[in-house]
Structure formats: structure tokens, C-alpha cells
Amino acid sequence: MTRIVVLPNENLCPDGAVIEAEPGESICRALLRNHIEIEHACEMSCACTTCHVIVREGYDLEPDSRLSCQAIVDDEDLVVEIPRYTINMVSERH
């Protein structure tokens, strides 16, 4: 199991959390399975950006912003931040 440290988010996870994820599972599914109700307006089809998270540690990738529905967990522990606000690319005008 991979450990994901979720930094505090005043609406979704006020105290932060440490959750476990299965290798091959998306960050979004792991959050939802652990009762952290991150928005996922497109039902995880990579179309809206509402499940956006910031990977603070892990992955060794830049930039660190990811769609949690598409970021697949492996055996590396992660620290993620759920931004206070997201933009729904499907329904909001820009």
C-alpha cells in the first residue's frame, strides 16, 4: 500500500489525513474511498479539472499540479494538497 498524506483543506479535510492507496489506483479514487469528497464533475473522464490536486512530494515530476482522476499511485508515498478552489472546464466560462 502507498501512503498519501493529504494536507488540510478547510472544506474537504480540515485536519488533513493520511490514507492508504493501492498501486494502480488513482489519487481521486483513493480520496473518495477514504471519505474525502473531492469534486469530480466529469466522473473521472479527464474533462473538467475539478479533481485537481497539487503533489507536494513524490512522483519527481514538474510541474506538480495533477488531475487526481488521472494520477495513478505506484509504490512511492505522496503528499497532496487539494486546492481551495478549482475551475470546472466543462461548465464555467473563461
Residue 37: per-residue pLDDT: 96
Task: For residue 50, give the nearest of 25, 63, 69 by alpha carbon.
Answer: 69
**Containing domain of residue 50, as a range?**
2-81
Is residue 89, in this structure, part of any structural domain at all? no
Task: For residue 31, give the nearest of 48, 9, 63, 47 by alpha carbon.
Answer: 9
Is residue 37, in this structure, part of any structural domain at all? yes
Residue 91: per-residue pLDDT: 63
Banded model confidence at residue 87, pLDDT cuts 50, 70, 90? low
Is residue 26, in this structure, part of any structural domain at all? yes
Using one digit for the tens of pLDDT, what is the confidence trace for 8-22?
A: 999 999 999 999 999
Residue 29: per-residue pLDDT: 96
Q: Give the total number of structural domains in the chain.
A: 1
CA separation for the pair 30, 26 (Å, rounded): 6
Residue 60: per-residue pLDDT: 56
Residue 34: per-residue pLDDT: 97
Query: How far from 52 is each of 1, 5, 39, 91, CA to CA, in Å?
Result: 22, 16, 9, 16
Q: How many CB atoms lie within 10 A of CB 80?
A: 25
Is residue 86, in this structure, part of any structural domain at all? no
Using one digit for the tens of pLDDT, what is the confidence trace for 24-81?
A: 999 999 999 999 999 998 888 888 888 888 888 775 555 667 788 888 999 989 998 8
Q: What is the dihedral of CA 21, 69, 42, 87, to 10 degrees?
A: 110
